[in-house]
Structure formats: C-alpha cells, structure tokens
Amino acid sequence: MHESINSSIIHTAYVLITTVASDNSMTLNLKRIRYFTVVAEELHFGRAAERLHMAQPPLSQQIRQLETDLGVELFSRSTRRVKLTEAGTLFYPQALKLITDAEGLERRLAQYSSGDGGRLRIGFVDSSSYEVMPRFLRAYRARWPAVEYELRSMSSDEQYKALTRGEIDLGIARANRNPQELKSTLISKERLILAMPVDHKLANQKRTSISQLQGEEFLGFDRDVSPSLHTELTALFSNHQVVYDPIIEATEYTTILGLVASGQGIAIVPAGVQTFSPPNLRYVGLRNADATSQLLLLSRQSEQSRLVTQASSLIAEGFTLD
C-alpha cells in the first residue's frame, strides 16, 4: 500500500515539474516542493516562513496548492501542532531527490548552453591515438574540464557514416575523401615512415625511397574497413612505380607493428606511431616529399553545438604545436 501511494505521488510530482507552461509553472511547482521540505523539517509554518523569508499566509497557500496538485494531504494541522501525514512522510525523501535532480539538470543545461559541460562523442583513427588524440584531449580538458567524452576508435570511412547518421559529434580522420555534408579542418600534415624488422636490409638506413620498396611484402590497414586509406597509399606507391598490395591486413597499428617486429613484412605508417616501439622493430624515414598524410577534424556542416565549435577553435590555435 505504501509503495502504491508513494509511486502515485512521485509520478504526479514529476509530471508537475516537467510540464513547462507559459506561466513558468515548472519554477512555481519546484518552489512549492522546496517549501514543503522546509515545512517538513520545521513542522511549524511560522519557523518555516522565517527560513524562507516570506510571510506565513502565502506559504500556507502554496502548501495547500501543492496538496491539491498531488491529490493528497501532506500535513495534518491543528491549533497545537503540525505533523506529516503518511503520504507526507513517504513524499519527503523523494521531494529532496526531485529538487536535487532538478538543480542538477538546470546546472547541466546551463553548462551545455555555455559550452562548459555536456558530452562530446569523438571518433578517431587508430593512428591518432599515439600522439594527436592525447594532446587534443589534454588541451580541451584544460580549457573545459566539465565536459565528458565518449571515444570510439573508427576508420575514416566509418567516421563519415557515423557523422552523417548523428552517432558521433567529431571525427579525427586521415583519408582525404570528404562528403559534402561534412566540414573538415586540417589538424596536421604528418610524415609517412616505414616500420621494418631490425634484420631487414634497409633497417640500418636513416632514410630510403619508395622506389626501393618494389617486391617488398607489406602489412597494412584493413582495406575493407578503410578503403579510402588503402586507395590513398596505393596511389602514392603507384606514383613511384611500386605496387602496394598488403599480404596481411589488420585494424589496429599495434597489431600491424607487432607483426612487423616478428618479421612478417614491412609497413608504411604515420610518424606519430613511433611512440609505440616494440623490440626488434626499426623506423626508417622516407625521402619522398609526397609521403605525407593529412589528419583532419571532421564535423557536420550544420553543426551548432558549442562543444564542437570549441574543438575547431583549438585546432585553429594550433594545439599540436605546443
């Protein structure tokens, strides 16, 4: 019986505080619930009115209106004392929770509107997780510490789809294909380098050229997951009369580099992955001026979120150069 009464009261209260009418009824209803908690704590309308800095008659009227709205009597009143009814006793802890929840929602909405809070969903290519992503998040969190993050490792092509479907807010992508409905901002142009086993014939060189790689066995990023990246690298190698057709493909650079270190082949990778350096692996630079890969910040053209525009402002300030 108690649970049934309590459930009915709480449901009615939530309806009251979530129904925003033109007369600002949400604010009024929250005030009534706050008034109730003070009276419940004092069990005296005079003392409660003093705490609330108001006259007693208006307070009594507000409590009566709340009881009418909820359809129950919250206090039993006599000339000698005021006490909570069964319904009032059940409602009191829930009233405190309603007030706390409402204040938290109001605070979060204010933070979201100002760009100081909210949740930012970011898709990022695996290769950016070694350097660019950590630096970007450090810079963003330093400026807007109340923002929460949802991070997803995704290929560039997966990011394009996720952005257009509204599943993420930002993308950090590497391929140069960009759908018309998306906006791209250049984060950096990163050098491409070679990863190879320590016993490879080129491992002791500081730099080499793509033209020297004909006939090598390549390991690469999964072409089905990231066809744009595969197309970009195939075109780069073709410009130097070298065939790029990986014999083993994976979806994470840690896997690719681990296979390279075990002697399975060589890989062309962004320079930022050098922070991952397993035993038996060497990185060798490329002399070719066109051996670069753009890293882009992607967002929807129609995006209005302050959280997203703040990210673009960080890129414009050149956070990766600090």
- Tell me the pLDDT tens digit for each residue of 39-85: 999 999 999 999 999 999 999 999 999 999 888 999 998 878 899 99
The pair of structure tokens assigned to 201 is 């014939």
pLDDT of amino acid 321: 39
Alpha carbon 306 to its chain centroid, in Å, reads 13
Alpha helices in the chain (DSSP H): 2-18, 25-42, 45-51, 56-70, 86-114, 132-143, 156-164, 227-238, 253-261, 306-316
Other C-beta atoms lying within 10 Å of the C-beta of residue 242: 18
SS3 at position 81: coil
Q: Which helix (H) or strand (E) holds 248?
A: strand 248-250
Q: Which helix (H) or strand (E) holds 293?
A: strand 292-300
What's the alpha-carbon Rg for the chain, to the nearest Å? 31
Domain 117-187+294-321 has CATH 3.40.190.10: yes
Assigned fold of 189-292: D-Maltodextrin-Binding Protein; domain 2 (3.40.190)
The CATH class of 2-114 is: mainly alpha
pLDDT of amino acid 111: 55
Q: Which residue in this structure is represented by tokens 């600002």? A: 24
Q: pTM for the whole thing?
A: 0.64
β-strand pairing of 117-124 with 170-173 = parallel
Residue pair 219/264 in contact (Cβ under 8 Å)? The answer is yes
Residues spanned by CATH 1.10.10.10 within the chain? Answer: 2-114
Q: Calculate ∠ Cα 255-258-261, nearest 5°.
A: 155
Residues spanned by CATH 3.40.190.10 within the chain? Answer: 117-187+294-321, 189-292
Give per-residue burial for 216-229: e unless 16+ CB within 10 Å, then b: bebbbbbbebbebb
Residue 136 bridge partners (DSSP): none
> Which residue type does 11 have?
H
pLDDT of amino acid 26: 46
In sign, the C-alpha dihedral spanning 64, 66, 72, 78 is negative
Q: How far, in Å, CA of 50 to CA of 60, rounded?
A: 13
Q: Which residues of the chain have pLDDT under 70?
A: 1-28, 104-117, 175-179, 319-322
